[in-house]
Amino acid sequence: MPNVLIVEDEPAMAVALKDGFEYEGYTTEVVGDGVAALERVKEIQPALIILDVMLPKMNGLDVCKQLRNDGFNLPIIMLSARGQEIDKVLGLKLGADDYITKPFSFMELIARVEAVLRRTESGNRHATVVQFGDITVDRRKRTVQKSGERVVLSAREYRLLEYFIDHEGEVIERDTLLDAVWDQASLTLTRTVDVHVAKLRKKLEENPSDPQYFLTVHRMGYKFDGHVAAGFIPA
């Protein structure tokens, strides 16, 4: 089972997390400050990190930033106290994969962990270049080509495409797409999602009225089916 590095300075919380993960069959290690976290990641190469924001010596946001700068792309789930919404925005911006606010139920955390690990194992998440059919997506340059020809996507269309790639094979509800891709979900209509999916189809599908990649799942939402075997990072 995957090894989880728990970075948490509150002893009760650290013990609860450790027990919870071990009950679920994971192996764990606990460290109590940000500097130790950086050292241990390098030494034990955990499958995933649970990273508290408020930590002695170096805070979780700085740890996250440092790891990404050093080229570590393992999944990071950040923990923070209620009312620290700014941490959430910053954490995700600095490269965290998910974020959970204390207090939370362990079942909620484990669900997030499993989702993040599934995405990572699919190999797509951190790949710089992803291919499906005759489409090539360069996630570093944020460019898309079809049969070698550049396809221009709006920023929103591109974000939608990336979200689909990261969630390949999952049935995704329109509301989930709104939350993930549009910032003001409540002000945006689900119809907007349909319009943007239609644009992606028009630009990337061979036959937009009979899509192969961006599928409608009746009464549910959408599913991306790119048969992305694995993305790759070019030399």
- Residue 144 pairs in a beta bridge with 137, 151
54 binds Ca ion, rule: CB under 5 A: yes
Piece of 36-44, 46-54, 125-133, 181-189 that binds Ca ion (CB under 5 A): 46-54
**Residue from 30, 34, 52, 162 binding Ca ion (CB under 5 A):** 52
Exactly one of 2, 3, 9, 16 binds Ca ion (CB under 5 A); that residue is 9
State the minimum distance, in angstroms, from the CB of residue 56 to Ca ion.
Answer: 8
C-beta separation of 129 from 139 below 8 A: yes
| CA dist., res. 219 & res. 76, Å (int) | 33
Q: Name the nearest CA neighbour of 53 among 5, 102, 121, 107.
A: 102
Residues in binding contact with Ca ion, number by CB under 5 A: 3
Helix pair angle (174-181, 155-166), 10° resolution: 120
- Residue 54 CB, nearest approach to Ca ion (Å): 4
Q: How far apart are CA 159 and CA 202, in angstroms?
A: 16
Residue 170 engages Ca ion in binding (rule: CB under 5 A):
no
Using CB under 5 A as the binding rule, whether residue 151 contacts Ca ion is answered as no
In terms of DSSP H, where are the helices of 24-84?
34-44, 60-69
In the complex, what is the shortest distance from the CB of residue 92 to Ca ion, in angstroms, rounded to a whole number? 19
What's the closest the beta carbon of residue 60 comes to Ca ion, in angstroms? 8
Window contacting Ca ion (CB under 5 A); options: 27-35, 53-61, 62-70, 88-96: 53-61
How many helices and strands in the chain, by DSSP H and E?
Answer: 8, 12
Q: In which region does residue 186 sit, left (phi positive, over 0), alpha (psi from -120 to 50) or beta (all else)?
A: alpha
Stretch near Ca ion under the rule CB under 5 A, chosen from 44-52, 57-65, 115-123, 212-220: 44-52
Give the binding range for Ca ion (CB under 5 A) out of 7-15, 32-40, 85-93, 185-193.
Answer: 7-15
User: Between 77 and 144, whose beta carbon lies closer to Ca ion?
Assistant: 77
| Residue 131, strand partner residues | 136
Is the bond preceding residue 234 a cis peptide, omega within 30 degrees? Answer: no
Nearer to Ca ion, 52 or 168 (CB): 52
Smallest separation (angstroms) from Ca ion to the CB of 63? 12
Q: Are 103 and 79 in contact (CB under 8 A)?
A: no
Amino acid letter for position 109: L
List interacting residues with Ca ion (CB under 5 A): 9, 52, 54
